[in-house]
Structure 1
Amino acid sequence: MRAITYTRNGGPEVLELTDRPVPEPGPGEVLVRLAVAGVNPTDWKSRTNTSPGPGGQVPGQDGAGTVEAVGRGVDPAVTGQRVWVWEAAWQRPWGTAAEYTVVPLRQAVLLGADASSELGAALGIPFLTAHRCLTLGESVPDRLGPGALTGRTVLVQGGAGAVGNAAVQLARWADATVVATVSSPRKAQLAAAAGASHVVDYRQQDVVAEVRKVAPRGVDVVVEVSAARNAAVDAQVLGVHGAVGMYADDGGAEVTIPVRAQMGPNARWQFVLVYTEPERAKALGVEDVTAAVLDGAVRVGEDAGLPLHVYPLADTAEAHRAVEGGAVGKVLVDVTA
């Protein structure tokens, strides 16, 4: 099979198109023939900072394809099913930037006949991260679905990013009022297309004043892309029993939180890394994201506020450069091209 591999850390230039044997699924595993792979910030960060194993590393956590074969203990009936794959390369050598990958059965999730492979490859890390952020705190349930967030207000800081877009779409599916912040008119259009009820340009408007107009008693959840920059704003708009889910690292910056002001509302500030989140929370996230897909509630593309940037497998290095450079939208790799 064709696969992108790196055997040392470094920039995108360490990624090489190689010819490797198709892996065999072990007990409890499935072999997935991939159609599209997703590219996330953690892919280039791992490529830069985490040493590959002795046989090299195939990058890519997310993807979509078809179950080609099963290992011992897996019902053969799943063969031929279209699936979306999550965390393929987490502590494993077989990522999704390849024609085939091997994952435990639970990490190959039914995609359904109507969802595109592009949507399937865009789910994984962004949508599971967004789900975790949206279900923190005492004022919201730990499950999403129609009506789950009725009467709640969600603030998505950075509503035009991949996780921000996922948060907007999932929150709207759950009937929340969604306020999204953006940095330009173009990004405002994308956040609105995703389903944000209100969009605030933080470079032109007072975020605290605008959010308080929508939620005078404060918001229930903040999905936070830049806690170091936005902590003071988040603290001023968070309501009683509200929660801030911080999912990006701000390049190692430190976060300053006004402690006393956050004690009164019993606020929760929580770091979110999908790979190490509690297993139950992750399992619920997979179930809810799958339900949203089967419900037709989440989409990708310009009309969903998530422009797609698709590269052929041989140009995976360029896809990594695009993500590292802050491409607006979702970067994908067409594994078949």
Structure 2
Amino acid sequence: MKAVVYRAFGTAEDVLSLEALASPSLAPGEVRVELAFSGVNPSDVKARAGARAGVTELPFPAIVPHSDGAGVIREVGEGVDPARIGERVWIWNGQWQRAFGTAATEICLPQEQAVPLPEGVSLETGAVLGIPGLTACHTVFSGGEVAGKTVLVQGGAGTVGFLAVQLAKWGGARVIATCAPAAMDRVLAAGADVVLDYAASDLAEQILAANQGQPVDLIVEVEFGVNAEVDTTVIAPNGRITAYGSAKAMQPVLPFYPLMFKAVTLEMALIYLLTAPQRQATVARLTRALEEGALSVPIEKVFPMDQAAAAHKAVEGGARSGAVLLQISEISMN
């Protein structure tokens, strides 16, 4: 098989190479997926650069990166229904705690990690569902239904935030989102009821005013450290803050007592480590949203497989309005 590989931490152009590797063996309970697209996420580029907290050595001698992808099942292992052969699927945790991820022409993995794509949903969209899609869905619904509630999405223009806006609206919530001014129209078009400048000096006051002076029930948070003070001010008693990032302040100051005296639930969401029941519920809900046409998944750029380094640099550069993918192959459904 062809695969993008790295054998040391470093810059994308220095360590990523396109190589021919032996095809992986298929174990009982697994499926072999021919990949069409591989999703490139910030976590993938951090892992390649050696920038993940607490990781000082390469966990495997050679790594095929990327956890997200989409393709078609071509072979099934013992114990897997042969009817799954030919099924269009999307992948989650493709390279989580494994050497070989989705930046390859094929991947073998447990069958539950290859989720059927609803009819009419593209393989490109499928390659964005593993980390951004599941993170957005979990952060919106991990505390239960949101119908009739107000959800604040901090960072509504990022891929996760953009999907979270759509999912919260689909779930029946009133949605307030923050982003840069240049992205406001796009986030409004995604379904937000109100969009505010994330850098406003009086952001907390603007959020409360946008909710008729009332605090919000749930905050989906991309930068917890930077926004902790604002979040504490605007969250309702017994509210919930679900944070999936804090890159700009990695050791945040926690306003413990103001949060405690509101009995706020603070969840640190890491989509790789969902329990099996959480994963099943989130996958099922995300599938329903896709089937009902509730999600538009933006794609910033698709790079050919031999330009994996450029794809990584595009993710590192930020300022994107959609996901970055590698095109692995043009899938035939025959």
Common topology (TM > 0.5):
yes
Q: How does 1:59-78 map to 2 (within 5 A)?
A: 59-78=65-84
Q: Contact 2:154–2:198 at 8 Å: present in 1 too?
A: no
Q: Residue in 1 aligned with 2:134?
A: 128
1:138-193 superposed Cα distances (whole Å, 9 cap, x missing partner): xxx1xxxxxx4221111111100011112111111111111110122x21122122
The answer to whether residue 313 in structure 2 is matched with residue 318 in structure 1 is: no
Q: Tell me by how many angstroms 1:95 deviates.
A: 0.7
Identify the match of residue 115 of structure 2 among 109, 113, 122. 109
Q: Residue in 2 aligned with 1:191?
A: 187
Q: Quick one: distance in 2 between partners of 1:18 and 1:234?
A: 47
- 3-state DSSP class of the match of 1:17? strand
Distance change >3 Å, CA 268–CA 53, structure 1 → 2? closer
Q: Quick one: distance in 2 between partners of 1:102 and 1:316?
A: 21
Distance change >3 Å, CA 71–CA 109, structure 1 → 2? same
Distance change >3 Å, CA 190–CA 33, structure 1 → 2? same
TM-score (structure 2 length as normaliser): 0.92
Q: Residue in 1 aligned with 2:125?
A: 119
Q: Residue in 1 aligned with 2:5?
A: 5
Report the AA paired with residue 200 of structure 1. L
| Gapped regions of structure 1 (runs ≥ 5) | 142-147, 301-305
Q: Tell me by how many angstroms 1:196 deviates.
A: 1.2
Q: Contact 1:132–1:285 at 8 Å: present in 2 too?
A: yes
Q: Tell me by how many angstroms 1:286 deviates.
A: 1.2
Q: How does 1:1-337 map to 2 (within 5 A)?
A: 1-13=1-13, 14-49=15-50, 50=55, 51-137=57-143, 141=144, 148-184=145-181, 186-204=182-200, 206-215=202-211, 216-250=213-247, 253-300=250-297, 306-328=298-320, 329-336=322-329
**Identity score, percent:** 41
User: Aligned pairs, how many?
Assistant: 322
Q: Contact 2:226–2:246 at 8 Å: present in 1 too?
A: no
Question: Root-mean-square deviation (CA), in Å?
Answer: 1.7
The list of structure 1 runs, each at least 4 consecutive aligned residues, that deviate by more than 3 angstroms after superposition, is 50-55
TM-score (structure 1 length as normaliser): 0.91
| Gapped regions of structure 2 (runs ≥ 5) | none
